[in-house]
Each structure stands twice: as structure tokens, then as C-alpha cells.
């Protein structure tokens, strides 16, 4: 088959176009790849620039880190040396711990320390050895716990703790905090106030009555007869003489003999003399009153207008007034009573005169002082008893003693 020139030309053009197109496509592709690679190169250069800057910045830190590593290596070496020394020290320290704890000996030591501190130990409880909460890789410890209760002054309890901490037997011990129980402070009752004047006045009256009673009891025998003689002579009036027995008896005898009869006078004198001689002081007044009343009664029966002018005017008036309109059978009793009352009144007055105001005041002062002191003593005794009954401060202490158990 023959191609014409035109055909060749057309084929040539076609091939040229295909070649040109292919070359253009390849060029464009190469150009794009070139751009991509160039971009990667630019990026790589940028990263390299950043890395170079970081390298420059990290160089001092790297040098410091190297120095720190060297320093820590030195510290590690020092710690290893210290650990070795500590292990040696620990082995030496374990030798200071007791191998065992003798409970009885520790109990005795605790009781002795409490006694020396003026404390009372109410209880002591000791536990057996148990594993302690203190341990090391090389050693283990046992612990014996002693729980004690003490009572006494707070200062003494603190002194006991100080002795405990400094006692060689408890050098490996630990003490828990104290548990205190302190009662409320004792408030004493106030001392009684001085006695009031009203109480003193009442005491004075009672003292006077007691002193009079005592004196009246002491005036007996001859002393009481002497007083009665004096009282009778005073009742006989100014014409009676002398307080002696003979004079008084003679006076009475003469008066009755003159007014009644010698027989009645003799009877009265004998009764009075007998009572005086026998020291019948308690019946002397009754004897005198009875004999006079008998005589007056006899005279009254004979002549009511001629009464015995033996007594003083006042007593004679009392007798005369008392027996008016009284039957004859009762005259003796009435007269006896008047004379008895008069003699007793005179006697009481004379005995009362023995008790002076000064003696009453002296006795009152002694009684007041004694009463006030007794009241003070009673309150002080009550306060002392209450203070003694107040419980002392109490403390509970727990002591843990550590002993070496073994490796």
C-alpha cells in the first residue's frame, strides 16, 4: 500500500503531536515532582535549622544533667556508706536492749518509785511479751506493757514520771500520756460567828443559877447552921443578941418562957440545940418553925390578942395577918409555913450573896470562850474529816518496755 506525501505528512504531524503531548505531560509531571521535592528540601532545611537551635539551647542543660548525675552518684555512694554504718550502730544498739523483761523486778521498781514519790499505787497490771510495733530488716523487738494507777498530789505524780524517765531500768521504755482524774477542790465550812449578846445573857442566867445551886449544896453542916442562926437572929429583931448557939438559944428560951411558960421554952431550946449539935441543917428550919408555931398556937388559943412579940415587926405582922379567921386547929400549920418561908428566904438571900457579879462574869467569860472554841473545833473537825474523805488526784500511766527478740 503506497502512502502519498500528504499521507506521510499527516502521519508525521500526528506522531509529532503525540510526541509533543507526551513530552509536555512528562515535563509537567517532572516539574510537579521537582516542586514537591523542593518543598521537602525546604522543610528539611527548616527542621534542621530548628534542631540546630535546640541543640545549641540543650547543650548547657545536658552538661548540667551530666553534673547532676555525677552528684547523685556521689550521694548514693555516701548513703550506702551511711547505711552500712547505721547497720553497725543498730547492731550495737540492740545489745543495750534487755534480752528479756522480768515482770516481778519491774513491778518492784515501779512500786519503789511510787513510794519514794509519796504516791499510793492502787493497781498494777503487766502483760506478757508480745511483738512490738518497732522492727527493722535485721532485728525484731518484744514489748511488755505495765499499766499502773496512782493517787496523790499532782506534783508528786509528775515527779514520779520524771523518776521513771531517768531510771536506767526504763531506758528502753515508752510512756503513754497520763490520764488524770482530779476531784473538785474541797471547800471548807466557814468558822462559826461569835456568840450573840442574847445567848451570852442566857448563859449568864444559867451560870448564876448553877453557881447558886453549887454554893447551896456546899453550905452544909456547921456552915449551914451558922447561916440559919444568923437568919433566925435577924428575924428575932433588934433585941436578939449574938449569933452564937448559947446566946441564940438563951434568947429564944427567955422570950418563950416570958410569953408562954418555962416548960415550952425548955422544949424549944432543947429541940433547937439538938438540931444544931447534930448538924441537922436541913431540918433546923423546920424544927425552929414548928416549935415557934406550937408556942404561938398555944398562946393564941388562950388569948388571941397576946401574940408573941418575939419576931421583928414585919414578920409579926405577917403571922398575925396569916392566922386571922383561921380555925385553932390550923394555926400551927399556918404559922409554921410563914416562919419557914421567912427563914428560907433569908437563907437563900445569904447564900446568893456568896455568888458575886465578878465571879459570875469570870465564869461567863470562861464558858463563852469554851463554847466558841468548842464550836470552832467542831467545824474544824468536820472540815478535816471532809478533807480526808476527799479523794486525791488519780492518774493512770502505761509503760511499754522493749526487749530484743532476735534477728
The pTM of this model reads: 0.40
The residue among 154, 164, 220, 162 whose CA lies nearest residue 185 is 154
Q: What percent of the chain has pLDDT over 90?
A: 0
Angle between helices 262-277 and 281-302 (to 10 degrees): 170
CA distance 331 to 308: 13
- Quick one: 16 and 133 in the same domain? no
- Quick one: 85 and 122 in the same domain? no
pLDDT of residue 306: 46
Under 8 Å CB-to-CB from 32, ≥6 apart: which residues? Answer: none
- Quick one: 332 and 233 in the same domain? yes
- Quick one: 242 and 342 in the same domain? yes
- Quick one: 145 and 121 in the same domain? yes
* Residue 393 near residue 182, CB atoms below 8 Å: yes
- Quick one: 168 and 196 in the same domain? no
pLDDT of residue 308: 47
Average pLDDT over residues 149-177: 84
Give residue 307's pLDDT band: very low, low, confident or very high (50, 70, 90).
very low
3-state helix, strand, coil in the chain (%, to 5): 70, 10, 20
* Residue 129 near residue 102, CB atoms below 8 Å: no
Count how many domains the chain has: 4
- Which 3 state secondary structure label does DSSP give 139? coil
- Quick one: 165 and 66 in the same domain? no
Q: Is residue 2 included in any domain, yes or no?
A: no
Kindly list the distances between the CA atom of residue 137 and the CA atoms of 140, 144, 406, in Å, as whole numbers in the listed order: 8, 22, 11
* Residue 310 near residue 255, CB atoms below 8 Å: yes
Average pLDDT over residues 65-81: 78
pLDDT of residue 242: 43
* Residue 97 near residue 402, CB atoms below 8 Å: yes
Q: Is residue 86 included in any domain, yes or no?
A: yes
Who wins on pLDDT, 289 or 305? 289
Q: Which residue has the cell 397576946?
A: 306
Under 8 Å CB-to-CB from 247, ≥6 apart: which residues? Answer: 241
Predicted confidence (pLDDT) per residue in 366-382, tens digit: 988 888 888 888 888 88
Q: Is residue 177 included in any domain, yes or no?
A: yes
CA distance 368 to 204: 10
- Quick one: 247 and 313 in the same domain? yes
* Residue 153 near residue 393, CB atoms below 8 Å: yes
- Quick one: 250 and 321 in the same domain? yes
Predicted confidence (pLDDT) per residue in 76-121, tens digit: 878 777 776 666 665 555 555 555 556 777 788 888 888 888 888 8
The residue among 248, 228, 253, 235 whose CA lies nearest residue 311 is 235
End-to-end CA distance of the chain: 116
- Quick one: 34 and 79 in the same domain? yes
**In degrees to the nearest 10, what's the CA dihedral of 54, 59, 61, 62?**
110
Who wins on pLDDT, 115 or 301? 115
pLDDT of residue 246: 62
Q: Is the pLDDT of residue 305 over 50?
A: no
Q: Is residue 3 included in any domain, yes or no?
A: no
Stretch (H or E) spanning 349:
helix 328-354
Q: Is residue 78 included in any domain, yes or no?
A: yes
Check which CATH number belongs to the domain holding 127 and give it.
Answer: 3.30.70.60
Q: Give the domain extent around 79.
A: 9-95
- Quick one: 227 and 214 in the same domain? no
pLDDT of residue 239: 55
Angle between helices 281-302 and 221-236 (to 10 degrees): 30
Stretch (H or E) spanning 84:
helix 5-94
Amino acid at each position: 500500500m503506497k502512502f502519498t506525501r500528504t499521507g506521510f505528512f499527516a502521519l508525521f504531524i500526528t506522531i509529532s503531536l503525540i510526541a509533543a503531548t507526551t513530552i509536555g505531560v512528562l515535563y509537567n509531571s517532572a516539574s510537579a515532582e521537582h516542586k514537591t521535592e523542593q518543598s521537602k528540601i525546604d522543610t528539611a532545611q527548616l527542621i534542621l535549622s530548628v534542631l540546630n537551635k535546640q541543640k545549641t539551647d540543650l547543650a548547657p542543660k545536658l552538661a548540667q544533667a551530666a553534673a547532676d548525675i555525677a552528684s547523685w552518684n556521689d550521694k548514693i555512694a555516701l548513703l550506702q556508706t551511711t547505711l552500712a554504718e547505721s547497720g553497725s550502730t543498730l547492731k550495737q544498739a540492740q545489745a543495750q536492749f534487755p534480752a528479756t523483761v522480768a515482770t516481778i523486778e519491774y513491778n518492784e521498781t515501779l512500786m519503789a518509785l511510787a513510794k519514794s514519790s509519796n504516791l499510793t499505787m492502787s493497781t498494777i497490771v503487766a502483760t506478757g511479751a508480745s511483738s512490738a510495733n518497732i522492727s527493722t530488716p535485721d532485728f525484731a523487738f518484744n514489748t511488755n506493757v505495765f499499766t499502773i494507777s496512782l493517787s496523790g498530789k499532782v506534783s508528786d505524780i509528775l515527779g514520779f514520771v520524771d523518776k521513771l524517765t531517768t531510771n536506767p531500768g526504763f531506758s528502753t521504755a515508752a510512756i503513754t500520756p497520763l490520764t488524770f482524774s482530779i476531784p473538785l477542790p474541797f471547800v471548807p465550812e466557814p468558822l462559826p460567828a461569835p456568840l450573840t449578846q442574847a445567848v451570852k445573857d442566857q448563859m449568864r442566867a444559867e451560870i448564876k443559877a448553877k453557881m447558886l445551886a453549887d454554893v447551896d449544896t456546899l453550905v452544909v453542916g456547921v456552915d449551914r447552921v451558922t447561916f440559919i442562926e444568923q437568919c433566925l437572929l435577924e428575924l428575932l429583931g433588934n433585941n436578939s443578941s449574938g449569933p452564937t448557939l448559947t446566946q441564940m438559944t438563951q434568947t429564944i428560951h427567955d422570950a418563950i418562957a416570958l410569953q408562954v411558960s418555962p416548960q415550952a421554952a425548955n422544949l424549944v431550946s432543947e429541940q433547937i440545940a439538938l438540931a444544931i449539935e447534930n448538924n441537922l441543917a436541913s431540918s433546923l428550919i423546920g424544927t425552929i418553925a414548928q416549935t415557934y408555931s406550937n408556942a404561938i398556937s398555944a398562946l393564941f388559943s388562950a388569948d388571941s390578942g397576946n401574940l408573941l412579940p418575939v419576931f421583928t415587926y414585919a414578920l409579926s405582922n405577917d403571922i398575925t395577918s396569916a392566922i386571922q379567921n383561921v380555925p385553932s386547929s390550923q394555926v400551927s400549920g399556918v404559922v409554921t409555913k410563914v416562919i419557914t418561908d421567912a427563914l428560907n428566904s433569908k437563907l437563900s438571900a445569904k447564900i446568893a450573896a456568896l455568888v458575886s457579879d465578878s465571879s459570875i462574869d469570870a465564869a461567863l467569860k470562861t464558858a463563852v470562850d469554851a463554847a466558841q472554841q468548842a464550836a470552832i473545833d467542831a467545824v474544824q473537825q468536820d472540815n478535816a474529816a471532809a478533807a480526808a474523805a476527799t479523794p486525791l488526784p488519780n492518774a493512770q500511766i502505761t509503760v511499754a518496755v522493749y526487749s530484743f527478740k532476735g534477728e
